A and B are shown apart, each in its own frame.
Chain A
Amino acid sequence: MNIQRVWQLAQFELTRLFATKRGLLALSAFAMLWLMILRYPIGHAVPFLSSPEFSGVAQQLAGNVGLKALASWPQAELAIFWLIALYSFPVFALFVCSDQTVGDRQRGTLRFLSLRCTRDETLMGRFLGQLTIVFSLIALTALATFCVMVYRAPELFLSGSLLAFTLVIQLTVIVMPFIALMAVLNLISSSSRLSIVLAILLFTLGNALLSFASSYLSAIEVLFYIFPGVQLLDVAPHENVPLILWGLPAIQTAALLALGVFIFRRRAL
């Protein structure tokens, strides 16, 4: 695998979001949505969590779902950001990364590419490009949240910047298998929409069938670990999270990409 070609493919993916009309439109919609999130859930929930009248009730409630530690963070904006981003970015990644190769395959553009780079390089380049896009969006939203927080409490600048950086890295690791899953689904479906439908079916019907089957045979519960995001509820408290739960997305990503390489090498273009 030629790293330079992989990087060129990844760089070209960045221009898909930042240098095309459609990409800029999607970026504007994303920015507007996050402006609303910053203005209301993050901007308003913080005084709510910090007020002495409600903090007891809020902490009690948060503690019941394993989030007690989060409610006590001095960087309260980042705590709310973490909770929203933890669940929204994986879903967002499914949609944003729904067309990694399928559109180009249907149009025949992959035929031009395959005479200039290997299929493995195409798959990896596209994955890395999409990951970089999602990483930049996570970083931008974290930066915006950080700014809101520093505006309220400038003394949190140092501790907040370290925490924001950690959250960005952790969120990026968490979305990795979702992007890799879409890379695989792109190889077996005929459109990006169908890839999204397959992903939804996997997370709903697949999950339900596995739950049903595991009620008869508990040994197959281990299969839940093939689902990206299986650990989300466990990592949400952000404290005392076993290291394996941070490593799980990386393992899932590697397995999904290996499966993608296997399928792509055998697929007709």
Chain B
Amino acid sequence: MSTLIEVKQLSKSFGNKKALNDVSFTIDAGTTTALVGPNGAGKTTLFSILCGYLAPDRGDVKILGQPLRHPSLFGKLTALPQDAMLDPRFSIEKQMSFYGALQGFSKSEALKETARVLELVGLSDNHHSQINELSHGMRKRVCIAQALLGSPKIVLLDEATAGLDPLHAREIRSLISTLSDDISFILSSHDLAELERLCDHVLYLDQGKLTAHNRNAPVGQSKYITLQLHEQYKDALERLKQLSGVLHVTQSQNKEYIIEYQWEFEQFDIHLLKYCYKCNWQYHQLVNGHTLENQLFQKD
């Protein structure tokens, strides 16, 4: 698997505040990566550095083997920057086809590309609109569309679905999921359920420090399942501990249990569901491994 992004000992400060503190990670081709962290953790700073909007104080970044802002990255690395907007004096089509022309398309190809990406985000009827005539959600979708012009290899989406209505947020998630075979997405969001569905690699930033999680990697000699029950059944924790193959059970929150079981136990999930049926427990959700929320915030 080839490395798309390699970041080594990256640091960036604003005055006395360290936005990024010695951050290192790699992102491989074919992965969809989540960038998670509380407000002010340094997510947008990291995005801005990867896109070349900000220069780091220290550290080394290689994207597709090239340094930041290298012309060979034009059209290969695209982004939905936070709070960026197209020029309200021109139509969406005019600006997008201009961006296409800058990426090397002929005039007619650029127009076709514009039509293609606007259709992808459900804005086929808005070619001639100006950006200030559109709602907040539609503006965001236009900005996502510009990131899909051409054949990008890496797309960075900063809060892509924030402010979108549920229907269009779902469409954008579905679009990302569909395109993720060809494009490596890096998504920043506070919606952990969304990231859980889309991402297989998580970068967690807090106070400028980063920890990476591979969501599918086995831990030691055991595997995990997260079981969410419909209600808080009596003695559920104790009874789960007695199930064969189970090594350890913790209750992460009300009605939710993290079950550690022996890695060689085949079809443990089916075994567990049968046990739920036997105990007359209604289950709400069964997650293979940890939920992203537990992975990031569970202390024990």
Q: Interface readout for A109-132 with B: 1 if CB under 8 Å, 0 if not?
A: 101111111110000000000000
Q: Using C-beta atoms within 8 Å of the partner chain, give the interface range for chain B.
A: 20 to 34
The residues of A that contact B83 with a CB separation of less than 8 Å are: 108
* Additional A-B contacts beyond A8-B102, A108-B85, A266-B55 (7; CB < 8 A): A109-B86, A111-B84, A112-B84, A112-B146, A114-B53, A115-B78, A269-B53
Verify B52–A108 contact, CB threshold 8 A: no
Instruction: Tell me the bound Cα distance from A22 to B146 in angstroms.
Output: 25
- B102 contact set on A, CB distance < 8 A: 5, 8-9, 113, 116-117
**Interface segment, one of B69-77, B257-265, B279-287:** B69-77
Are the C-beta atoms of A108 and B75 separated by less than 8 Å? no
Q: Which of A9, A21, A115, A119 has the most CB of B within 10 A?
A: A115
Contacts of A108 in B (CB 8 A): 81, 83-85
Instruction: Identify 12 residue pairs between A and B in the complex whose beta-carbon atoms are under 8 Å apart, listed by A's number.
Output: A15-B94, A20-B90, A107-B84, A109-B86, A111-B53, A114-B69, A115-B51, A116-B74, A116-B99, A118-B71, A268-B54, A268-B55
Q: 1/0 contact trace for A36-56 toward B, CB 8 Å?
A: 000000000000000000000
Contact A117 B74 (CB under 8 A): yes
- A9–B85 alpha-carbon span in the complex (Å): 18
Q: Shortest Cβ distance from B88 into chain A, in angstroms?
A: 8
**Interface residues in chain B, defined as those with a beta carbon under 8 Å from any beta carbon in chain A:** 48, 51-55, 69, 71, 73-75, 77-79, 81, 83-87, 89-90, 94, 98-99, 101-103, 143, 146
User: Shortest CB–CB separation between residue B158 and chain A, in angstroms?
Assistant: 10
| Cβ contacts A11-42/B at 8 Å (1 or 0 each) | 01001100011100000000000000000000
A107→B87 contact, CB < 8 A: yes
- Counting chain B CB atoms within 10 Å of each CB, the highest count among A16, A116, A119 belongs to A116
CA distance A113 to B81 in the complex (A): 12
Closest to A118 in B: B71
Enumerate chain A residues within 8 angstroms of B54, measured Cβ to Cβ. 268-269
Residues of B within 8 A of A115 (CB): 51-52, 73-74, 77-79
Interface residues of A in 101-153 (CB under 8 A from B): 103-104, 107-109, 111-119
* Interchain CB contact (< 8 A) of B75 among A16, A116, A269: A116
Closest 4 pairs between A and B when the two form their complex, measured CB to CB: A108-B84, A116-B102, A269-B53, A111-B81
- CA A112 to CA B145, docked complex, whole Å: 12
A2/B85 in contact, CB under 8 A: no
Query: Which residues of chain B are near A104, meaning CB under 8 Å?
Result: 87
CB distance from B276 to the nearest CB of A (A): 50
